[in-house]
């Protein structure tokens, strides 16, 4: 039986779900989780949403109708639905024991997902996990209207870079069209989504862009966010979102690297133009992601991280 049908049937036949997505959630993680909550609601199921790191400030405009727990609920669910997690670790530490004892629906689209669930539906071609939740909704006869439509749309635009990346399939645009037909207005939706920045964020990003550098004959661009800069400008890790995409579009650049100082180590984000695979680079350093967008953490200081990433990406460019 095709997996989509199998998952749809099992969702319809089961009850008592805990739905979660990866830590530091992005638009796909939150969008797919909230959409799954709406879908299960529409089916009359008992559902709890959980994310170990909570909702980031830039998504506060979403105002979900039910709380997203940051601690495990006292009442244990029978089923876990794990969304947009390329590996079990991405779900966070708190949930780890239940991943071993409960029925786990692993619904994801990352390369190299190790199939950690009881049921694993890993669709690498799907633009986003939100698109997969949309497919489930269709299968179960639930229309992509209202909040369900908004949440799926958020996931679609987040993971496709507003329908610009290669993962934008005809099916992705057909789903977006269906959501628009059912009433979503893209203008107000995008305005709400984008109007979350502060002036301090803009100015900090200006400083980082001024310090952007090119390497490997202009094929690599690099930006760095230091804790010192965050302190000086009253900003934080939240305010770095998406800037790495901006530096990818310098003419001649094939790979953009963003490095961000964390309490422990350096969080790296990689973005590449279509012909270069950065997932393999991230994977080498214990991270992961997709062919053209990947990330991870390096336990070293900023200077070492710079040298390490530039070298690893240069080697990858040599292969393509």
What residues between 120 and 149 interact with ligand 5GP by CB under 6 A? none
Which does residue 288 bind out of ligand 5GP, Mn ion, none, counting CB within 5 to 8 angstroms by kind?
Answer: ligand 5GP
Residue 77 touches ligand 5GP, criterion: CB under 6 A: no
DSSP string, 112-136: T----SSEEEE-TTSS-HHHHHHHH
Residue 92 touches ligand 5GP, criterion: CB under 6 A: no
Which does residue 253 bind out of ligand 5GP, Mn ion, none, counting CB within 5 to 8 angstroms by kind?
Answer: none
| Nearest one of 308, 234, 222 to 265, comparing CA atoms | 308
Q: How far apart are the C-alpha atoms of 258 and 296, rounded to whole Å?
A: 11
CA atoms within 13 A on the CB side of 193: 19
Which does residue 294 bind out of ligand 5GP, Mn ion, none, counting CB within 5 to 8 angstroms by kind?
Answer: ligand 5GP
Which does residue 293 bind out of Mn ion, ligand 5GP, none, counting CB within 5 to 8 angstroms by kind?
Answer: ligand 5GP
3-state DSSP assignment of residue 79 = strand
Q: How far apart are the C-alpha atoms of 56 and 50, rounded to whole Å?
A: 13
Which does residue 29 bind out of ligand 5GP, Mn ion, none, counting CB within 5 to 8 angstroms by kind?
Answer: Mn ion
Task: For residue 211, give every residue at least 6 positions away whose Cβ sits within 8 Å of its Cβ, in sequence order, or none.
Answer: 223, 224
Residue 294 touches ligand 5GP, criterion: CB under 6 A: yes
Residue 280 touches ligand 5GP, criterion: CB under 6 A: no
Please calculate the CA angle 13-16-19 and round it to the nearest 5 degrees: 105
Output the smallest distance, CB 71 to ligand 5GP, in A.
Answer: 22
How many residues sit close enough to ligand 5GP to count as binding (CB under 6 A)?
13
Return the sign of the alpha-carbon dihedral for residues 303, 307, 310, 312.
Answer: negative
- Residues of this chain that interact with Mn ion (CB under 5 A) are 26, 28-29, 84, 128, 159
Q: Among 25, 255, 296, 316, which residue sits at the site for ligand 5GP (rule: CB under 6 A)?
A: 296
Please, which residue, 79 or 258, has the CB nearer to ligand 5GP?
258
Q: By the 8 A CB rule, do 6 and 107 touch?
A: no
Q: Which residues in this chain contact ligand 5GP in the complex, by CB under 6 A?
A: 86-87, 90, 269, 287-290, 293-297
């Amino acid at each position: 039986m095709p997996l989509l049908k199998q998952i749809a049937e099992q969702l319809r036949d089961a009850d008592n779900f805990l739905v979660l997505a990866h830590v530091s959630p992005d638009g796909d993680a939150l969008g797919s989780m909230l959409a799954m909550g709406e879908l299960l609601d529409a089916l009359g199921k008992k559902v709890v949403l959980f994310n170990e790191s909570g909702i980031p400030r830039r998504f506060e405009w979403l105002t979900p109708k039910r709380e997203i727990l940051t601690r495990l609920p006292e009442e244990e669910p029978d089923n876990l639905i794990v969304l947009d997690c390329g590996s079990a670790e991405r779900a966070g530490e708190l949930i780890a024991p239940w991943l071993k004892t409960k029925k786990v629906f692993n619904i994801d689209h990352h390369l190299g997902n190790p199939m950690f669930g009881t049921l694993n539906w890993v669709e690498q071609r799907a633009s986003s996990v939100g698109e997969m939740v949309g497919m489930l909704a269709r299968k179960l006869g639930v229309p992509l209207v209202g909040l369900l439509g908004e949440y799926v749309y958020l996931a679609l635009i987040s993971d496709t870079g507003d329908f610009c990346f290669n993962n934008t399939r005809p099916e992705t645009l057909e789903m977006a069209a269906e959501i628009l037909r059912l009433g979503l207005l893209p203008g107000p939706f995008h305005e709400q989504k984008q109007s979350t920045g502060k002036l301090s964020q803009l100015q900090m990003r200006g400083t980082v862009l001024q310090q952007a550098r090119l390497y490997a004959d202009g094929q690599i661009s690099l930006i760095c966010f230091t804790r010192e800069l965050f302190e000086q400008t009253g900003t934080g890790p939240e305010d770095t979102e998406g800037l790495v995409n901006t530096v990818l579009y310098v003419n001649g650049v094939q790979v953009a690297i963003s490095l961000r100082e964390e309490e422990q180590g350096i969080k790296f984000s990689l973005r590449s133009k279509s012909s270069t695979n950065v997932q393999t680079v991230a994977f080498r350093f214990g991270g992961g992601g997709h062919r053209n967008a990947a990330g991870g953490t390096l336990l070293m200081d900023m200077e070492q991280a710079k040298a390490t990433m530039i070298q690893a990406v240069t080697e990858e460019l040599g292969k393509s």
